[in-house]
Structure 1
Amino acid sequence: MSSIFLRMSVLFVLLGVGLGYWMGMTHNFIVSPVHAHINLLGWVSMFLYGLFYRAFPEAAEGRLPKVHLALAGLGLPVMMIGLTLAVFEVAGLMPIAQILLILGPTLVVLGMIVWTVIVFRATGRKVVLAA
């Protein structure tokens, strides 16, 4: 789980930095919100997820971390596609953009909620029974 999130994070940072580079070259900053979300949710959050799962390997076991991965890994791209369509105001695709801008952030928030549960489970007080 850790390696998957770490690898996803570096792919997102390449995308985010590439987008920032393009904006600087063209002096067209219309996709700044896309750039910011890719860097924050894609690079930073995914990297932190990866580090957390590396520090607490037992937290990566079971079904819940897989749900977290699916929600986080799908939510951000869906949201970024919707946001890109919205900021460019692509004619005819605005209804799809609106759907993606509801679905994507919902998946991201649900992923954060699942991750919160995982963090609390992994960092909660452990009771050791004496034999």
Structure 2
Amino acid sequence: MPAQVRVCEPAGSSRRFFLEAATCPARLPLGTVTTHQTVWEGPKMKASVLCFRAAVLLVIAGMLWGIVMGISEDHSTMPAHAHLNLLGWVSLFLFGVYYHLHPALDRSRLASLQVWIWIAGTIVLTIGVALVHSGRAIGDPIAAVSSLIVLADTLLFGWLVFRGDLTEQASQRSTVPAE
């Protein structure tokens, strides 16, 4: 007689976990598909939510920066301000929309990693560009390296977009426990 298994699967994910009845929590009856996380993982933020929250924080920072530039009448760091608003607000928000429209990808660790790299790269690039336009030579290598990080992260996002069809097809497959 085969061992009973519980199928624990995050909704919209291509990952499937088979747990012996003895190791799966009793609150999950046989055949249950979890909707939030796997049994052994804690709560996980979706990539789209991370994008939207970070975008709001970065646009607030960008607006405050713009107000300070206007009050001080020193617009020397305007290119950095523009980078922050375009990469931090517009791009992150668009990433969030894409991830929200592709639920299987939205919960993936790779999508979350892509977003975190983008956030860090955007902040460091903004600082580097601000230093350059403030006349500080140390900003050049900071801006250069962070530009390459943002470019690499753009390529990662592109790869996720083009392989998205594979992820969505995998999440639609049925899971049948082995006998």
Residues 21 and 116 of structure 1: is their aligned pair in 2 closer, same or farther, counting only changes over 3 Å? same
Single out whichever of 101-110 and 65-74 deviates more from structure 2: 65-74
1:100-121 deviation line (CA, Å, top 9, x unaligned): 1111111111111111111122
Post-superposition offset of 1:65: 1.3
- For 1:103, the aligned partner's letter is V
User: What is the TM-score of this pair, normalised by structure 1?
Assistant: 0.84
Single out whichever of 12-21 and 114-123 deviates more from structure 2: 114-123
Is 1:114 aligned to residue 179 of structure 2? no
- The gaps in structure 2 that reach 5 residues or longer are 1-46, 174-179
Point out which structure has higher relative CO (alpha carbons under 8 A, 6+ apart): 1
Q: Is the 8 A contact 1:71 1:110 kept in 2?
A: no
Runs of 4+ in 1 over 3 A off after TM superposition: 123-126
Q: Is the 8 A contact 1:59 1:65 kept in 2?
A: yes
Single out whichever of 59-68 and 103-112 deviates more from structure 2: 59-68
- The gaps in structure 1 that reach 5 residues or longer are none
Q: Which has more radius of gyration?
A: 2
The CA distance in 2 between the partners of 1:103 and 1:67, in whole Å, is 18
Is 1:39 aligned to residue 81 of structure 2? no
Is 1:4 aligned to residue 50 of structure 2? yes
Post-superposition offset of 1:70: 3.0
The alignment yields a C-alpha RMSD, in angstroms, of 2.2
User: What is the TM-score of this pair, normalised by structure 2?
Assistant: 0.63
More strand by share: 2
The CA distance in 1 between the partners of 2:85 and 2:165, in whole Å, is 27
Percent of pairs with identical residues: 30
